Amino acid sequence: MDIDLPLLCLRVISALLPHETVYEDMHFEERKQICIEVAEEAKIQDVDILTALAVTWQESRFLNAGTNSSGCSGPLQIKIKYWCPNSQGEWSPVRADGVIEGCDLIERGVFTLKYYLKRFKHLKNSLCAYGWGKCDTPERMVYVNSTMRYRRIIEKTIKQVMNEKCND
């Protein structure tokens, strides 16, 4: 897919924030940058961009999220103790915003997603594993269903951008 990522991310953010304009969103520049970086990393690692962006939106709304109470960090909210051990073997964040010394949280987040996509083969099963480990309750399926809904919105937006590009 050869597409202008800043334009794509502008359109994706607009589609995912339907009640706000991007000009009113005080986090727009950060959201756009995270979107671009995740899309670029997904290309590098040969991960479906739609899924990578949908998971990132689900996890952090394209924000450079810090570490939550479960120990998950970054835009894709990965468990740093499993996916980002640093060179000293310490698995704790070194800054309040969850940045890990020597660990790119976007790179490792996309890597984590790729791992689950390959391990479970089916997208919904992969999302269950990524989000919860397993989806053994209806409440946990909410994560999968909303991520799939975001993926459909992103897919529709990409098709619109591609069609506009073809019409130019």
How do residues 96-108 score in pLDDT, each as one tens digit? Answer: 444 556 678 899 9
How do residues 31-57 score in pLDDT, each as one tens digit? Answer: 999 999 999 999 999 999 999 999 999
Question: Measured between alpha carbons, how far is 128 from 150 in angstroms, rounded to an integer?
Answer: 15
Q: What is the pTM of this model?
A: 0.87
Domain coordinates in residue numbering, the chain = 5-63+104-167
Helix 28-44 × helix 5-16 angle, to 10°: 120
Contacts 24+ apart (CB under 8 A), 10-19: 11/157, 11/160, 11/161, 12/53, 12/153, 12/154, 12/157, 12/158, 13/62, 15/153, 15/154, 15/156, 15/157, 16/57, 16/61, 16/150, 16/153, 16/154
Give 54-116 as a DSSP string.
Answer: HHHHHHHSSS-----TTSEETTTTEEHHHH---TTS--S-SSTT--BTTB-HHHHHHHHHHHH
Strands 78-79 and 72-73: antiparallel
Give the per-residue pLDDT at 84.
74
CA–CA–CA angle 112, 57, 153 (5° rounding): 115
87 vs 164, higher pLDDT: 164
